[in-house]
Structure 1
Amino acid sequence: MKTLSAQFFKICTFFLVVIITTTAGVSIPSISKRETVGKCPDPNFPEFVGSACNDQHSMTVQCKNRNNARNSNRQQCNQGENCIDFLLNDEVPFAMCVPVSKLLHWTNGNYNNQVCSGTIRFDSGTNGESISIGLNTYDTNGNLIQVFDVVGRVNNKQIGEVKNQHNYSQIYRQYNVHDIVTFCFIPGISNPNNPEYANEAIAYAYIVRLSAIGGKDVQVTDIEPVISQNNTLYIEN
């Protein structure tokens, strides 16, 4: 588990105000859907290095040339997509723009309590796979917003936690079909005179099989040919 790499960016009295995409959770079906990934448009810097969400609707992509000189470019998501940060096996940040209809999303609604998501799972495929898990928190204007604590769970067992971050990215091994993935976050106090209040954060979360984006042990070298040929992945879930 690792949050965004420093080389990219330095960057209960709860009244059930949590907004979740669906109370039954999100099941990712076995049909082809499109997720948009970054590309390297400058032929002088053709090699993909990594990517990370810049805001809710865009990412920053780093590319390099044969001399390892690098440049960055900002790329927009397509309409109806939000940017989510993931990891590749070599701990490289890897952003994808995912259709909003496929994402878990929920909010703390200005309350400073822990708020949890619905569920997301795969209902087809093989057992024992590796998945990449991604969650980003944005403010109401679509900008990344840091929250105090984020926890990820599989079948209600905690698998990871980050603090004071705007994203939670982790690779989880041995995922079995129908395993339930959920998330919780605590926004953090923003007004010391009113400890129950916090700025509203909206969380978006998604899971993707590593085998769908280049192989079981997918690394940058597996992703680069896809990015060089096309700006989209067609993921069979």
Structure 2
Amino acid sequence: MRTLFARFFKICTFFLVVIITTTAGVSISTISKRETVARCPDRNFPVFVGSFCKTETSMTVQCKNGNNVMASHQQQCNPSEKCIDFVLNDEVPFAMCVPRSKLLSWTNGNHNDKVCSGTIRFDSGATSETITIGFNTYDTNGNPIQVFDVVGRVNNQQIGEVENQHNYSQIINNYKLHDIVSFCFMPGISDPNDPAFANEVIAYAYIVRLSSIGKVAQFTDIEPVISLN
């Protein structure tokens, strides 16, 4: 994952539109009919450009018309869903609301220690394919919160790292069936007088097959397997 994308979500909405205009331009009807995926309901701006999580339960969606005029709107997740940021081909940002029961979820409590997730993997489907992984951190009020360090791993081997971010996503090419994906984060010091203390951070993570984006029935036909140990 390049550092450029790690910083991508920190910039303002206007700048986000400028960046992704040249790389996106997918008709929203070709992405998904599922309610929890970003949509462009305004017929005057029918083309999906990009989306990103605004809070734990909402996303900002960017759409455009045939003249490349942009519009944005807020979209809420369904009850019991959490918003996860992913990156698609050409680093197009793509937010998705996922039922909490399907997510890796963990917290640091109030400790400034490295904390790691359980594991998530695909156990059925193609033997080799391309997937995208997504990770987000929120405070106890459901707002994005930056953490000092985030690491992504496949089969316990580090594949990416970002610092001072509230999200992390990366495309993994040639993902092999049963490969295990996991994440760790270090929250960072919240009180200089107490280096062991940190604000509580709630982390969520998920993996998605890129080939599943665009299917009408479901975002993914085969759910990943989660282990929280």
TM over 0.5: yes
- Which category describes the TM-score, using the shorter chain as reference length? 0.7 to 0.9
1: distance between equivalents of 2:213 and 2:15? 27
State the aligned residue count: 200
Structure 1 contact 35–235 (Cα < 8 Å) conserved: no
Question: 1:206 offset after TM fit, Å?
Answer: 0.1
Correspondence for 1:158: 158
Correspondence for 1:93: 93
2: distance between equivalents of 1:101 and 1:183? 17
Correspondence for 1:15: none
Q: Which has the higher contact order (CA 8 A, sep 6+)?
A: 1
1:128 maps onto 2:128 in alignment: yes
Question: 1:128 offset after TM fit, Å?
Answer: 1.9
Q: Report the TM-score, using the length of structure 1 for normalisation.
A: 0.80
1: distance between equivalents of 2:153 and 2:81? 24
SS at 2:13 equivalent: coil
Question: Residue type matched to 2:168 in 1?
Answer: Y
Structure 1 contact 8–52 (Cα < 8 Å) conserved: no
Q: Report the TM-score, using the length of structure 2 for normalisation.
A: 0.83
Question: 1:9 offset after TM fit, Å?
Answer: 7.4
SS at 2:67 equivalent: coil
Gaps of 5+ in 1: 12-33, 215-225
1: distance between equivalents of 2:15 and 2:182? 28
Correspondence for 2:138: 138
Question: 1:38 offset after TM fit, Å?
Answer: 0.8
Correspondence for 2:111: 111
Question: 1:233 offset after TM fit, Å?
Answer: 3.8
Question: Residue type matched to 1:235 in 2?
Answer: T
SS at 1:236 equivalent: coil
Structure 1 segments (4+ residues) deviating >4 Å: none
Correspondence for 1:236: 221
Correspondence for 2:174: 174
Correspondence for 2:29: none
Question: 1:42 offset after TM fit, Å?
Answer: 1.2
Question: Residue type matched to 2:13 in 1?
Answer: F
1: distance between equivalents of 2:15 and 2:135? 18
Question: 1:126 offset after TM fit, Å?
Answer: 1.6
Q: Aligned residues: percent identity? A: 69
1: distance between equivalents of 2:67 and 2:54? 26
SS at 1:90 equivalent: helix
Question: Residue type matched to 1:145 in 2?
Answer: I
Correspondence for 1:195: 195
1: distance between equivalents of 2:35 and 2:201? 24
2: distance between equivalents of 1:195 and 1:162? 21
Correspondence for 1:47: 47
What's the C-alpha RMSD, in Å, of the aligned pairs?
1.8
Correspondence for 2:61: 61
